[in-house]
Amino acid sequence: MALPQHRGLRHLALRVTDLPRSRRFYEDLLGMQVVWEPDADNVYFSSGSDNLALHQIPPDELAAYQPPKGQLLDHVGVILDDPQAVDRMFADLAPKITGLGGTVVKQPKQHRDGSYSFYFSDPDGNVIQALYEPTISTLRWQSERTT
């Protein structure tokens, strides 16, 4: 049986407790650009080769919403070109993360597999890894954003 062909895991949808706060976090901190905003409860972002959807937890569910003690999704990652880019991103973002409702989870460090990263969380506690990974950091995407 042949496995299905795909182009990678490039779409993520997160439910959030405060959409305007989360929107500011992803726009201001990671430079994500809105590609579609179908209504006041949903916004879709991209950095050029991916898609991140933020969905406001509906008011009738929000009152009863209990944040999990631990998340099943360990973390998501953004890929950087080299270890120096990780350090530059950390130096730039670390002072801003808390002001936008997130936290620095782990300082930059070298991993056993040759990767290098740091971790931070968004306002709802979703952990994001800023990562240089030798195998995928060198890949080039057909539609890379030019800024």
Residue 21 and residue 101 in contact, taking contact as beta carbons nearer than 8 Å: yes
Bridge partners for 104 per DSSP? 120
**CATH class of the domain whose range is 11-59+75-132:** alpha beta
Q: Which of 52, 51, 50, 49 is nearest to 142 (CA)?
A: 49
Name the DSSP letter for residue 9. Answer: S
CB atoms within 10 A of CB 54: 23
Q: Taking the model in full, what pTM does it have?
A: 0.87
Whether the predicted pLDDT of 80 surpasses 80: yes
Across the range 63-87, mean pLDDT stands at: 86
Whether the predicted pLDDT of 1 surpasses 50: yes
Compute CA distances 74 → 77, 120, 127, whole Å: 10, 12, 7
Query: What average pLDDT is seen over the chain?
Result: 91
Across the range 44-53, mean pLDDT stands at: 94
Whether the predicted pLDDT of 67 surpasses 80: no
Rounded to 5°, angle at Cα 120 from 9 and 43: 55
